[in-house]
Structure 1
Amino acid sequence: MRSRRAGVSAITVTTGTALAVVTGLLLTACGGGAPVDPPSVPATGAPAQPDPRGMLAARVAVAKDQRYVAAYTLVVQGKAPRSVLVTVATDRTWRVDVQGGALGGTADVAIANRSEGIYQCQINPASGCVRVAAANKKLPAAIDPRLQYVFTAWLDVLLDRQVPLAVAPADPLAGTSAPCFAVEPGVTAVQPPIDAGVFCYNDRGILVAARIPLGLLTLTGEPAPAPETISLPGPVVAGAPLGTSAPPPPKPSSSSPSAAPSISRSR
Structure 2
Amino acid sequence: MRLRRVGVTAITVTAGTALAVLAVGALAACGSTGVPVTGVTSDPAPAKPDPRSQLAARVAVAKDQRYIAAYTLTAQGKSPRSILVSIATDRTWRVDVQGGALGGTADVAIASRPEGQYQCPINPSSGCVKVAASGKKLPPAVDPRVQYVFVAWLDVLLDRQIPLSMAPADPLAGTSAPCFAVEPAVTAVQPPIDPGVYCYNDNGMLAAARLPFGQLTLTGDVIAAPSTISLPGPVVDGAPLATTAPPPPSPNPSGSQVPRSVSPSPSKGVA
State the match for 2:121 in structure 1. Answer: 122
- Contact kept? 2:117, 2:132, Cα under 8 Å: yes
* 2:202 pairs with 1:203: yes
Return the offset for 1:200: 0.6
* 2:153 pairs with 1:154: yes
Alignment of 1:75-224 (within 5 A): 75-224=74-223
State the match for 1:21 in structure 2. Answer: none
What is the TM-score with the length of structure 1 in the denominator? 0.79
For 2:54 and 2:115, the matched residues in 1 are separated by 35
* Residue-by-residue CA offset, 1:158-206 (whole Å, 9 max, x unaligned): 0000111111111111231110111011010111000000011011100
Count of paired positions: 225
AA of the residue aligned to 1:150: V
- Contact kept? 2:168, 2:181, Cα under 8 Å: yes
State the match for 2:15 in structure 1. Answer: none
Query: Which shows bigger deviation, 168-177 or 196-205?
Result: 168-177
Identity across matched positions, percent = 74
- Contact kept? 2:174, 2:217, Cα under 8 Å: no
State the match for 1:251 in structure 2. Answer: 250
For 2:160 and 2:79, the matched residues in 1 are separated by 38
For 1:205 and 1:106, the matched residues in 2 are separated by 33
Q: Secondary structure at the match of 1:178?
A: coil
What is the TM-score with the length of structure 2 in the denominator? 0.78
Return the offset for 1:36: 5.8
Q: Which has the larger radius of gyration?
A: 1
Relative distance call for 1:175 and 1:256 in structure 2 (3 A) is closer
* Residue-by-residue CA offset, 1:102-160 (whole Å, 9 max, x unaligned): 11111111000000000000111111100010001100111100000000000000000
Q: Secondary structure at the match of 1:223?
A: strand
Where structure 1 has 5 or more consecutive residues not aligned to the other structure, the ranges are 1-28, 258-267
For 1:137 and 1:130, the matched residues in 2 are separated by 15
Q: Report the RMSD for the aligned CA atoms in angstroms.
A: 2.2
State the match for 2:267 in structure 1. Answer: none
Q: Secondary structure at the match of 2:221?
A: coil
AA of the residue aligned to 1:229: T
For 1:175 and 1:75, the matched residues in 2 are separated by 12
Return the offset for 1:49: 4.0
For 2:44 and 2:202, the matched residues in 1 are separated by 30
* Residue-by-residue CA offset, 1:210-249 (whole Å, 9 max, x unaligned): 0000101000111110000011111100000111111100
For 1:153 and 1:42, the matched residues in 2 are separated by 48
